[in-house]
Amino acid sequence: MKWFFRLTSYAVLILMFSVIVLIILPGVRYFFRPGFFTDFPRASMTEGGVFPSIFGSLILISLVFVIVIPVGLLGSIFIAEFSSKRLSVVLQSLAGTMNSIPSIVYGLFGLSFFCVNLGLRTSLISASLTLSTMAIPFFINSAVEFLRSVPKELREGVIALGANRFETTLMVIRSSKNGLLTTLMLTLGRAFSETAPILITGAVFYATKLPSKLTDPIMTLPTSIYAIIMNLGETARWMAQGMASMMTLVMIVIYSIVQILRRRTNG
């Protein structure tokens, strides 16, 4: 019986490994093309580099972080520490529900609310707000678990030492630091690879310049891959392959960090 389990897990591992290799290998050689990371695409995206997409993705994620860290952290602290039991159940199931809504629905919400109703149009700010709307429940969902897992004895001990409510909360945050960082990294990974919500709220297929203000549209890595595959022929394909392998490598790095942090939490 044991060999059967072993065989299945090897098969799954080989499958995952080959998917990763098949995405990374064909694209890696384009990294060495001059200017791949630093140039703008030229000649209908058949020459040049992918710098604006990298830049767009970075800026988008920074903005998402600026929004998610305070809101998500305060929200999860409220649920874990301050709210009554009934309210926290309601809020948590709300966050859980929002977490399982398909991302394209967030995109459509963002399009109608941020782009049209608030008049932010197709822009960096609408995209980051839409992405944050999606990332906050994701963050809260697992952050609450980490805050709750702080042992009760520790809390009581701190209170017994004369700490007030604020100081107790601070201690809880500090002792679940690694868990919160893990959650943040996972949120980063999710926000980095998400395509549908930004595709219709802030991303464009091609921009001649970097975004200069929050109301400018952006190019990002996932949406550029989509745009190239959907619209341009063989001559532009290499760029999409390069970006795909770059994104996969970044995701591997992110998840490795998550694994390291997790090990540290447990040990």
Partner 1 sequence: MRKSLLLLILVIATLINAETLVIKGSNTVYPIAQLWVEQFQKMYPNVTATLEGAGSSTGISALLNGTCDIANSSRFLKAGEVEQMHKNSRYFVPLVIAYDGIAVIVNPNLGIDSISIETLNKIYTGQITEWSQVDPKLPKKTIAAYSRNTASGTFEVWLEKVLKGEKLSPRIQMLESSQAEIESVAKNQYAIAYTGMGYVTSQVKALKVEGIDPTIENVLSGKYPLSRPLFVFFDLSRFNNMWPENNVIADYIRFILSPEGQKLVEKAGYIPAYGTSK
- Of 169 and 183, CB closest to partner 1: 183
- Of 115 and 134, CB closest to partner 1: 115
Least Å from the CB of residue 213 to partner 1: 6
Residue 131 · residue 197 · CB < 8 Å = yes
Least Å from the CB of residue 25 to partner 1: 22
Give CA angle at 132 (127, 137), nearest 5°: 150
Least Å from the CB of residue 175 to partner 1: 24
CA 21 to chain centre: 22
Packing angle of the helix pair 177-193, 51-77 (nearest 10 deg): 140
- Of 80 and 186, CB closest to partner 1: 186
Single-letter amino acid code for the residue at 142: S
Least Å from the CB of residue 239 to partner 1: 14
- Of 45 and 258, CB closest to partner 1: 45
Least Å from the CB of residue 122 to partner 1: 5
Pairing mode of beta strands 47-48, 41-42: antiparallel
Question: For the residues of 92-123, what is the DSSP string, one character each?
Answer: HHHHHHHHTS-HHHHHHHHIIIIIIIS---SS
Residue count (the chain): 267
- Of 44 and 93, CB closest to partner 1: 44
- Of 57 and 92, CB closest to partner 1: 57
CA 29 to chain centre: 26
Least Å from the CB of residue 255 to partner 1: 17
User: Which chain residues interact with partner 1 by CB under 8 A?
Assistant: 42-45, 58-59, 61-63, 65-66, 111, 115-116, 119, 121-122, 204-217, 227, 229-233
Least Å from the CB of residue 211 to partner 1: 7
3 vs 7, 15, 17, 147, 208, CA distance in Å? 6, 18, 21, 40, 57
Q: Which phi-psi region, left, alpha or beta, contains residue 206 (left: φ > 0; alpha: ψ -120 to 50)? A: beta
- Of 1 and 230, CB closest to partner 1: 230
Q: Report d(CA 101, CA 241) in Å as an integer.
A: 29
